[in-house]
Structure 1
């Protein structure tokens, strides 16, 4: 407990970048967490682009990485457990989406419990968007953009891309246009991403510190399964996040105190279960409607 364009154009874009340097693009995501509500929320997401792939995810935990590292290392040094969950801002989305260049192969990854140990599971998707490029051009922020439309996941999408940045990439799974996607949204305004800025990240490490020290500690290792198996496994995890750990929860185990804390293991388990249930119940309006229906 003491101890988480073209290939040529892309190659030119990265020619001056060291392998450990990432180009980080910040996308503000505006979304409706509840399908029958007009309420919208916003969260910053990031697309980290390195030589051979990109990683899309919620920025919330990554942004707190250095603070969490200081707090966890202090606990390890003192041997005194502190509940840091109250000082952590939880993400709105837990998935990571990898796009491996140059093909582009899409891999969707999320975490489930395997007993007491978190496990990354993911599915690969040979995804080719059927984009229809329109002649309409505009300017969004500092970017000269052009319109394109497609359908995916049961929704109709409109994207605006810029040829000024020669990356056939974008937020979430979106890719395949002759330039980076600056904005993309569905026709019902359930989800809308807009590029807000970018920077270079030196000495880039795609695995946040919190994942490297969490149980398991393998960070980026992914168990690849079919999409059908993924939907089934993740759906069961959402319904009962503690199901695989519950057989180990004997009365004796649950009554034990956590070293350096007044909390018992049982109290910590209840806190974790509530946190996960609150997280999963907060959003019943998935990005991909068809995938959501397939779970049922």
Structure 2
């Protein structure tokens, strides 16, 4: 990561003035809280003047494709793996973004939980940044953050913001989720290229969506009379066993049931 920050001194001033910046984070998380295995993904925090979007690389590419062609990439059938947030930095409005896997129906959940940061006296250097420690409670988890005032932008990964500097590292105290800043660069385009069209729902609505999806992942396809077809390595159509696919999806959901908002976890049977 040292190489990444060597260019910081040359471009930081210009970026600070433009407020068009991309912060790239490495996320390590446990899909299954009862297993030690970690999954690693790259996430992008794009800041454009008074707005920001935090999403994985695949979602970012998909949003760009939708803007250009109207068609994007498929979404994960496991809702807990969708770690996508948009913020209005002027109004402090934060929304979690949820997609349905088959039709890309989009939902927004307003994040109303206050982040009552406690800034501590602890300091340490992370790569080239002098950082200070802060703690906060969110989503039923206790979080420890390290932020730097060298970049006085009160932003960070996912829903986390409001500190007097960019968050360089933040993880919950059980190390189920750990975000680490690995790169800073100019925003590639003068647009966040994400659609603001969607339906605003509550956490209770979202829990019902998840429960209904778990009960029958293919219910919407059946309701729209859309047939699922698959093929072999030669391109020949083969029969689709929805019962088998349903069991596989249910198992996948149960085994990846470690949501970042632990206080909204659903106990699947």
Same fold, TM-score > 0.5, yes or no: yes
Structure 2 distance, partners of 1:254, 1:63, is 25
Query: In structure 1, which of residues 181, 194, 199 is the aligned counterpart of residue 167 of structure 2?
Result: 181
Indicate the residue corresponding to 1:16 in structure 2.
Answer: 18
Structure 1 distance, partners of 2:152, 2:252, is 36
CA contact (8 A) 1:148 1:160 kept: yes
Structure 1's 92 and 142: CA in aligned 2 closer, same or farther, altered over 3 A? farther
In structure 2, the gaps of 5 or more residues are: 1-13
Q: What secondary structure, in the 3-state scheme, does the structure 1 residue paired with 2:199 have?
A: strand
Q: What secondary structure, in the 3-state scheme, does the structure 1 residue paired with 2:259 have?
A: coil
Deviation per CA, 1:114-160: give whole Å up to 9, x if none.
Answer: xx733101111223211111111111112111001111222111100
1:98 aligns with 2:86: yes
Q: CA deviation at 1:62?
A: 3.3
Q: CA deviation at 1:165?
A: 1.1
Query: In structure 1, which of residues 174, 197, 200 is the aligned counterpart of residue 186 of structure 2?
Result: 200
**Structure 1 stretch displaced more, 276-285 or 219-228:** 276-285
CA contact (8 A) 2:83 2:158 kept: no
Q: CA deviation at 1:50?
A: 0.8
CA contact (8 A) 1:207 1:220 kept: no
Q: Which has the higher contact order (CA 8 A, sep 6+)?
A: 1
Structure 1 distance, partners of 2:178, 2:156, is 12
Structure 1's 61 and 159: CA in aligned 2 closer, same or farther, altered over 3 A? same
Indicate the residue corresponding to 1:39 in structure 2.
Answer: 37
In structure 1, the gaps of 5 or more residues are: 1-11, 77-83, 209-218
TM-score (normalizing by structure 1): 0.69
CA contact (8 A) 1:43 1:92 kept: no
TM-score (normalizing by structure 2): 0.75
1:230 aligns with 2:232: no
Query: In structure 1, which of residues 136, 148, 152 is the aligned counterpart of residue 134 of structure 2?
Result: 148
1:138 aligns with 2:124: yes
Q: CA RMSD in A?
A: 3.9
1:292 aligns with 2:258: no
CA contact (8 A) 1:33 1:284 kept: yes
Q: How many residues in Structure 1 have an aligned counterpart in Structure 2?
A: 247
Q: CA deviation at 1:53?
A: 1.2
